[in-house]
């Protein structure tokens, strides 16, 4: 009888230890996954914040418009959970918007057309939601991709097309 109690106690200790080890490993795995997700978000967020700040430093947008542009980034996970799907979408949408803003800034620097770019950004910011709860998944999945196309300023391509036929006519 004493042997059965001893064996049962040892078995319970082994099971409890095994459970605690497995639970600890699971918690570590979850913590690592959350850390990796946070790092992915931080990379995209810091890149976006830098480009928005460079718009402010260049005096292309007013401080209140910088705050409006920052809300796009800051409110993404307010109304959405952090899952792999939403983080991947965040990387795509905010990454595309960052690329677009970077390209427009490069156009500004080469063409020195601050007024046109300023107007485009202002029109874009004016169409953004005014309250935090409006920055929901519908906004990020459906409205922002099309809305961000308003940032694109007209390029000099239209004048390049007019020059090109003239060059071909002179060669003929």
Question: For 134-165, what is each residue's pLDDT tens digit?
Answer: 888 899 999 999 898 888 877 644 434 444 44
Q: What is the pLDDT of residues 2-53, one digit of tens each?
A: 889 999 999 999 999 999 999 999 999 999 999 999 999 999 999 999 999 9
* Three-state secondary structure readout of the chain: CHHHHHHHHHHHHHHHHHHHHHHHHHHHHHHHHHHHHHHHHHHHHHHHHHHHHHHHHCCCCCHHHHHHHHHHHHCCCCCCCCCHHHHHHHHHHHHHHHHHHHHHHHHHHHHCCHHHHHHHHHHHHHCCCCCHHHCCHHHHHHHHHHHHHHHCCCCCHHHHHHHHHHHHHHHC
What predicted TM-score, i.e. pTM, was given to this entire model?
Answer: 0.75
């Amino acid at each position: 009888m004493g042997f059965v109690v001893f064996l049962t106690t040892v078995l319970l200790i082994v099971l409890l230890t095994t459970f605690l080890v497995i639970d600890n490993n699971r918690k570590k795995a979850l913590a690592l996954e959350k850390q990796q997700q946070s790092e992915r978000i931080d990379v995209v967020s810091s890149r976006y914040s830098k480009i928005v700040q460079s718009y402010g430093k260049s005096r292309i947008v007013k401080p209140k418009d910088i705050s409006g542009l920052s809300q796009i980034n800051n409110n993404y996970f307010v109304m959405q959970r952090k899952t792999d799907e939403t983080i991947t979408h965040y990387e795509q949408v905010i990454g595309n918007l960052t690329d677009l803003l970077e390209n427009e800034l490069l156009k500004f620097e080469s063409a020195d057309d601050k007024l046109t770019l300023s107007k485009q950004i202002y029109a874009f910011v004016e169409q953004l939601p005014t309250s935090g709860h409006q920055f929901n998944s519908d906004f990020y999945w459906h409205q922002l991709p099309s809305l961000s196309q308003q940032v694109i300023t007209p390029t000099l391509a239209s004048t390049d097309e007019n020059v090109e036929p003239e060059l071909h006519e002179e060669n003929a």
